[in-house]
Structure 1
Amino acid sequence: MASLTVLAGDFLQGDGEYRDGVFTLRTSLHPWPGINLALSSIERIEVANEESINNIKDAIGFGVAGAMLLGPIGAIAGFMLAGKETEVTFLATFKDGKRLLAAADSNAFEEISRKFHS
């Protein structure tokens, strides 16, 4: 299962996931079980943006631990030790003309892209 965030398009903003060739989007109008969209109903997928982001939870944890051990310099060092991950924002255009702008981590997007192009 790969998590994603719906940002814009013809679907309301909300959380979603991709699993076994199906996107499940949870919005305020469809909180459960959500809207299911098959990967086969997508005509085109394009990368809109790729950005490296800090893992906030790790950054806070390492920063606090570093501060307790070494003071302010330790906090900075701890923050810099936090893992970075790449977030990919992509645009999916469906065969019926609808569009979906969503963000997912790079591993999730690779899985989606690999299945789409196979």
Structure 2
Amino acid sequence: MSAKSIPTLGPMEQLIRERIVDECSPTELTIENESHKHRHHAAMRDVTSTETHFRVTVVAEMFSGKNRVARQRLVYSLLKDEMAMEGGIHALTLVTKTPEEYDASLAKTKPSNV
């Protein structure tokens, strides 16, 4: 495999990953940079950053007993400075689940053996 085929993480994506891993100890973490889908939006017209829009799925035991809003607030609090800065994170789509919820959602998508 050539070095060109290995995707490199941008600094903002690395920061998101580090903060979530350090604070949430996730069993699953997926970060998708969707910035390219939003380049044409008026709010992005003069922004040169290629790391402004992310879809993040976090699966962590620490979400047990917390509702969806509390879970999302927790993740947003980890990235509040980056969301407030010029050229920082403009949009963050979050999916936050416990390991049990995640396993149940995977079971729903698998075809049953009939």
User: Could you state the TM-score of these two structures normalised by the residue count of structure 1?
Assistant: 0.21
| Structure with greater helix share of residues | 2
Q: Which structure has the greater CA radius of gyration?
A: 1
Q: Provide TM-score, normalisation by structure 2.
A: 0.21
Higher strand share: 1
